C-alpha cells in the first residue's frame, strides 16, 4: 500500500525541509519528480536531486517563483513535456515573516498571501487540466495549525494565508471530485525546519526545543513526519478522502488553548 510506482509528482518548495523530505520519500516509493525551487532562497536543491538520482528515479528541477503565473506554468509544462502526466501536486512553497500587526504594511501582507495562498492556487490551477484529461489526480498543500486551528502572534498575514488553504481545498474537492481528483492539505504543528529554526521570524532553536518538552509526544516533528502524511494522501489507496486538512502535530492542539 501507499506506493507511487510510475507516478509523477510536482513539489514546490522542494529544496529544504518538508519539500525535500517529501521528494526523497516519494522517490523511495517509486515516483518520478518535478521539483520547484526558488534560487533566491539559497537552499541546496542539488543534494535533493542527487539523492533522487541515486534511488534510480527521474528528476527535473525548475527554478520557480510561485508569485508568477508564468513560472508556475513553466513548472507544470516541464512535467507535461518530460513525463506526459502529473499524478500528484504538493504546493509547499511558503514564507514566514514576523511583524506586529499595527505596522504590517500592505506590501508585506500581500507578499505573504501571494506566496502562501495564491501560490498554492496557481500551482493547483496549472495542473488541473492535465489531471482532468487523465481522470486522476491528487492536489495537496502544506497548510499549518497556525490560522485555522491556533493563533500565532505577530503572524496575522501568515495565519490568514494558511487558514485560507483549508477553505480552498474544501471548495476544490467538491468541484473536482467528479473528475477523479482529490484535494487535501496537511496542517503541520511545529516541525524542525530551517524556517522554524529562524529566531527572527519564527520560534528559533529555543522555542522549538520548548515545544518538544511540552507537547504530548515529547518531541517536535521532523520533515519526514509530514512527508509520510503526503505519501498517504498522495497514493491511490486514499481515493475516498478529499476536502480534508489533516493535522500532524504531535498532539499540540490537544493542549493548546
Catalytic sites, residue numbers: 158
**Rounded to the nearest 10 degrees, what angle do helices 156-176 and 119-134 cross at?**
10
Q: How far is CA 85 from CA 107, 134, 158, 167, 183, in A?
A: 36, 8, 32, 27, 17
Q: Give how far the C-alpha of residue 42 lies from the chain's centroid of Cα atoms, to the nearest Å.
A: 18
Give the Cα-Cα-Cα angle 162, 166, 168 (nearest 5 degrees).
105
Among candidate residues 202, 223, 220, 199, the one with its CA nearest the CA of residue 211? 220
Rg of the chain over Cα atoms, rounded to whole angstroms, equals 17
Cell of 148: 485555522
CB 15 within 8 A of CB 43: yes
Tracing cell 528541477 back to the chain, one arrives at: 61
Strands (E), 20-169: 32-37, 59-63, 88-91, 137-142
Amino acid at each position: 500500500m501507499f506506493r507511487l510506482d510510475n507516478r509523477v509528482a510536482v513539489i514546490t518548495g522542494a529544496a529544504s525541509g518538508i519539500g525535500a523530505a517529501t521528494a526523497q520519500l516519494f522517490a523511495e516509493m517509486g515516483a518520478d519528480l518535478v521539483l520547484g525551487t526558488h534560487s533566491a532562497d539559497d537552499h541546496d536543491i542539488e543534494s535533493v536531486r542527487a539523492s533522487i538520482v541515486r534511488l534510480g528515479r527521474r528528476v527535473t528541477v525548475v527554478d520557480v517563483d510561485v508569485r508568477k503565473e508564468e513560472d508556475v506554468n513553466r513548472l507544470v509544462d516541464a512535467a507535461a513535456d518530460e513525463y506526459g502526466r502529473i499524478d500528484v501536486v504538493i504546493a509547499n512553497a511558503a514564507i514566514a515573516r514576523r511583524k506586529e500587526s499595527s505596522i504590517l504594511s500592505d506590501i508585506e501582507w500581500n507578499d505573504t498571501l501571494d506566496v502562501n495562498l495564491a501560490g498554492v492556487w496557481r500551482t493547483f490551477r496549472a495542473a488541473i487540466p492535465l489531471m482532468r484529461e487523465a481522470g486522476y489526480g491528487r492536489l495537496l498543500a502544506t497548510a499549518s495549525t497556525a490560522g485555522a486551528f491556533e493563533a500565532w502572534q505577530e503572524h496575522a498575514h501568515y495565519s490568514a494565508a494558511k487558514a485560507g488553504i483549508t477553505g480552498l481545498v474544501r471548495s476544490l474537492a467538491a468541484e473536482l471530485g467528479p473528475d477523479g481528483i482529490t484535494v487535501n492539505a496537511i496542517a503541520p504543528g511545529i516541525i524542525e525546519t530551517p524556517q522554524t529554526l529562524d529566531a527572527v521570524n519564527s520560534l528559533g532553536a529555543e522555542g522549538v526545543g520548548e515545544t518538544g518538552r511540552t507537547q504530548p509526544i515529547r518531541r517536535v516533528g521532523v520533515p519526514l513526519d509530514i512527508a509520510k502524511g503526503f505519501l498517504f494522501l498522495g497514493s491511490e489507496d486514499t481515493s475516498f478522502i478529499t476536502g480534508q486538512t489533516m493535522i500532524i502535530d504531535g498532539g499540540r492542539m490537544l493542549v493548546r488553548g
